Amino acid sequence: DIQMTQSPSTLSAFVGDRVTITCRASQNIGSYLNWYQQKPGKAPNLLIYSASSLHSGVPSRFSGSGSGTDFTLTISSLRPEDFATYYCQQSYNSPRTFGQGTRVETK
């Protein structure tokens, strides 16, 4: 199985901060990497697919980059509704695997 490792596990930030979350794959996955946001008690929401494509309706302050084994999710200016947990997911092969999550909390 491809292991996905996110860092940090928890991130403390202020509204307005630029936030970067990293996801590393245990092998080359090309650009087959997706990002999700999950709020407590809710289903995850797709943010970014294929490493850098913004899903419909997602604000442009979210962006993704990377290829191969190293990927980043960036929030250019954190808003109050962005405090949540973020997951990466590889779609290169089966079984589909997720990172352990990065919780973004208010500083």
Partner 1 sequence: QVELQQQGAGLLTPSETLSLTCVVSRGSFNAYYWTWIRQPPGKGLEWIGEIDYSGSINYNPSLKGRVTISVEASKKQFSLNLTSVTAAETGVYFCARGKKGGYSGYGTALFFDYWGLGTQVTVSS
Whether residue 86 contacts residue 102, with contact meaning beta carbons closer than 8 Å, is answered with yes
| Total binding residues toward partner 1, as defined by CB under 8 A | 25
The two tokens of residue 35 are: 């990002």
CB of 101 to partner 1, least distance (A): 5
Q: Which CB atom, from 78 or from 85, has the smaller least distance to partner 1?
A: 85
What region does 71 belong to: left with phi over 0, alpha with psi -120 to 50, or beta?
A: beta
CA–CA separation, 54 vs 97, rounded Å? 20
Establish if 58 lies at the interface with partner 1 (CB under 8 A): no
Q: Which residue has the tokens 């352990």?
A: 100
Q: CB of 10: closest distance to partner 1 in angstroms?
A: 13
Nearest to partner 1 of 78, 88 (CB atom) = 88
Q: Does 45 sit near partner 1 (CB under 8 A)?
A: yes
Question: For residue 35, what are the β-bridge partners?
Answer: 48, 88
Binding pattern for the stretch 2-41 against partner 1, x by CB under 8 A and - elsewhere: ---------------------------xx-x-x-x-----
